[in-house]
């Protein structure tokens, strides 16, 4: 057990990883290399020096502007570093100061960072990169394999016991549940009801949190989405410019729904984890495979996506739900168990 003051290392490491997350958030959706070119200002192209790369401190010292061209730096860069630093500090206290499980700290901290990257990417681009979803799935399997039999907040339920079998079952339940929602919604409403990235994300959540934790995270996501999603939609609709005339704009027409056959084939791949293996292939091969399934994978330009004022992805709320279970799992598990006992289960 580490001393309480060591939490400063959790903050420092979390902020440093948060700085790297900003690279992922910008480059992954655009299919750019995360290593080359080195970090630079997207406005003037000047390569950033050591003074520009101190997490949190550089942003504050420079007043949120580029040192070279004085262009404003999006506040998202600071928020990502701050959020990741806070989460890592919480997990550091939870598993290295109060508890004694360094391996669980490493897995949970890395998984939390993946979820934070997913939050911002999906919020801006309405996609979740396959690399992040596969990383979450792998972390979940490693967690279950390396810490088999270790206590969890959910081990009072049979599917909450930590082992590879239950991790695989959790992934299957997550992918199966969201595949069913996507398919039934497509049939009932004749429109796309669930994004493919969300199905893969819940699969990884099931492997990491196990089935009970994943289902509770799903409930938290629904509750959070109902409140924050409504406020977001209202705020975005108020900010949207008024139409110049009443003439219909072809760009405002909704996209046609995905063919049901393509959706069924894709969901089967997700349930069988075939897509995770596809992610290991060269990017051009991945593009051909997904194009054959009706899912062309195109690089994003900075202005490639025009957002609908009231449109909001569900992935960020799933990430919030998963983070809530990781950080406050003991309390949520106790509430869940008390409810089941009250209901007579």
Which tens digits make up the pLDDT trace of 199-227? 999 999 999 999 999 999 999 999 998 88
- The stretch 273-280 carries a mean pLDDT of 90
Whether the CB-CB separation of 114 and 201 falls below 8 Å is answered with no
Top-confidence residue, 215 or 343: 215
Q: Residue 337 above 70 pLDDT?
A: yes
Question: Shortest CA distance to 167 belongs to which of 146, 140, 148, 147?
Answer: 140
- The stretch 54-61 carries a mean pLDDT of 89
Phi (first) and psi of residue 90, to 5 degrees: -65, -45
pLDDT at position 306, please?
A: 43
The dihedral region occupied by 45, where left means phi > 0, alpha psi between -120 and 50, and beta the remainder, is left
- The stretch 149-174 carries a mean pLDDT of 96
What is the pLDDT confidence band of residue 309, given thresholds at 50, 70 and 90? very low
Average pLDDT score over the chain: 88
- The stretch 264-285 carries a mean pLDDT of 89
pLDDT at position 287, please?
A: 79
Phi (first) and psi of residue 47, to 5 degrees: -65, 135
What is the pLDDT confidence band of residue 295, given thresholds at 50, 70 and 90? low
Q: In whole angstroms, what is the distance from residue 166 CA to residue 160 CA? A: 7
Q: In whole angstroms, what is the distance from residue 199 CA to residue 195 CA? A: 7
- The stretch 16-41 carries a mean pLDDT of 88
Q: Please count the CA atoms within 13 angstroms of the CA of 172 that sit on its side-chain side.
A: 8
Directed axis angle between helix 7-27 and helix 102-125, to 10°? 30
pLDDT at position 250, please?
A: 52
Q: Which residues of 309-333 are buried (b: 16+ CB within 10 A; e: fewer)?
A: eeebbbbbbbbbbbbbbbbebeebb
What is the pLDDT confidence band of residue 307, given thresholds at 50, 70 and 90? very low
Its sign, for the CA torsion 45, 50, 54, 59, is negative
pLDDT at position 300, please?
A: 47
DSSP 257: P
Beta bridge partners of 65: 72
Phi (first) and psi of residue 55, to 5 degrees: -55, 135
Q: What is the pTM of this model?
A: 0.91
Residues of the chain by 3-state class (helix, strand, coil), percent to 5: 65, 0, 30
């Amino acid at each position: 057990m580490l001393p309480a003051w060591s939490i400063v290392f959790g903050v420092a490491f979390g902020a440093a990883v948060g700085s790297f997350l900003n690279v992922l958030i910008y480059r992954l959706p655009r299919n750019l290399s995360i290593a080359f070119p080195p970090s630079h200002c997207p406005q003037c192209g000047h390569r950033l020096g050591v003074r520009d790369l101190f997490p949190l401190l550089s942003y504050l010292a420079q007043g949120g502007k580029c040192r070279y061209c004085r262009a404003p730096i999006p506040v998202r860069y600071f928020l990502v570093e701050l959020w990741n630093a806070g989460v890592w500090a919480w997990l550091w206290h939870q598993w290295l100061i109060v508890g004694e499980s360094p391996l669980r700290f490493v897995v949970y901290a890395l998984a939390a960072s993946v979820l934070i990257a997913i939050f911002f990417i999906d919020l801006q681009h309405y996609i979740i990169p396959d690399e992040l979803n596969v990383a979450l799935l792998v972390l979940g399997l490693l967690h279950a394999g390396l810490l088999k039999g270790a206590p969890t907040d959910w081990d009072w339920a049979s599917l909450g016991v930590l082992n590879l079998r239950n991790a695989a079952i959790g992934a299957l339940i997550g992918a199966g549940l969201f595949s069913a929602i996507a398919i039934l919604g497509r049939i009932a409403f004749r429109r796309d009801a669930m994004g493919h990235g969300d199905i893969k994300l819940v699969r990884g959540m099931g492997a990491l949190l196990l089935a009970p934790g994943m289902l509770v995270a799903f409930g938290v996501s629904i509750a959070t989405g109902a409140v924050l999603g409504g406020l977001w939609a209202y705020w975005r609709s108020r900010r949207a410019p008024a139409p110049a005339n009443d003439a219909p704009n072809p760009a405002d027409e909704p996209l046609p729904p995905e063919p049901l056959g393509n959706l069924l084939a894709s969901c089967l791949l997700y349930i069988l984890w075939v897509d995770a293996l596809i992610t290991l292939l060269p990017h051009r091969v991945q593009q051909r495979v997904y194009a054959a399934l009706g899912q062309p994978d195109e690089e994003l330009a900075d202005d490639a996506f025009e957002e609908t004022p009231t449109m909001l992805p569900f992935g960020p709320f799933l990430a919030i739900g998963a983070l809530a279970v990781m950080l406050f799992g003991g309390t949520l598990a106790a509430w869940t168990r008390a409810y089941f006992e009250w209901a007579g289960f």
